[in-house]
Amino acid sequence: MPGKRSAARAFPRLIPGGLDTGACGPLESIIRDMALHMRGSVFLLSLLLAAGCDRGDHPRQIGRPAPDFTISDSGRTLQLSSYRGRVVLLNFWASWCAPCVEEIPALNQLQREMPQLVVVGVDVDEDPAAYQRFLAQHEVDFLTIRDAQRRSNALYGTFVFPDTYAIDRGGQIRRKFVSAQDWTSPEIVDYLSHL
């Protein structure tokens, strides 16, 4: 049974690290290019996976000050730090996101049942018409604003939606909720009422 070494002798220009160090043939050049691209792809994949490690509900930001931002859209301006002194539930969402649509009724209900809490929804849609249609169709009752440049979610490392951050009265991130939640569950309501 031929091994790698015999294959390298039979096809020296085709096997990386082969015995022949002569001129590159077109196939060897293609293989070398593919190997370089694969190394680059593995590196990029590693970076993406490392970034995804922070997607869990205990990211590195827990216990740290919530990054402040100011968003202006359609004549309205929202500055996150203006809610200091109140518990904030910061929800990043998009109109095309099915789990985002799923949790809207529970977020609406949570805001009604806990008026001392501020639910702030940041939509990342680029299209202002899609954002307005979504608000009308889903009767969003909590405070929302559109960040088409997606700067605010980038400050939090959020690129998959929905992601929600519980921010205490002092402006510290206390918890991250990944994906859609039942915001009216006794566990979540109890947690938020003790912040």
Q: What is the mean pLDDT of residues 15-32?
A: 54
Give the integer Cα–Cα distance in Å for 86 and 27.
65
Count Cα neighbours of 162 within 13 Å in the Cβ-side half-sphere.
29
User: Is the model's pLDDT at 77 over the cut of 80?
Assistant: yes
Asked if residues 162 and 100 have their Cβ atoms less than 8 Å apart, the reply is: yes
Which comes out higher in pLDDT, residue 29 or 55? 29
pLDDT at 27: 62
Local confidence band at 75 (pLDDT 50, 70, 90 cut-offs): confident
Which of 67-72's residues contact partners 24+ apart within 8 Å by CB, and which partners? Answer: 67/155, 67/156, 68/171, 69/151, 69/152, 69/155, 71/122, 71/145, 71/146, 71/147, 71/151, 71/152
| Residue 12 pLDDT | 47
Structural tokens at position 156: 């939090």
Mean pLDDT of the chain: 82
User: pTM for the whole thing?
Assistant: 0.72
pLDDT tens, residue by residue, 114-156: 999 999 999 999 999 999 999 999 999 999 999 999 999 999 9
Q: Is the pLDDT of residue 3 over 70?
A: no
The pLDDT score that the predictor gives to residue 188 is 97
Window from 28-37, 92-101, 177-186 with minimum mean pLDDT = 28-37
pLDDT of residue 36: 58
Mean pLDDT of 31-53: 51
Per-residue pLDDT band at 26 (split at 50, 70, 90): low
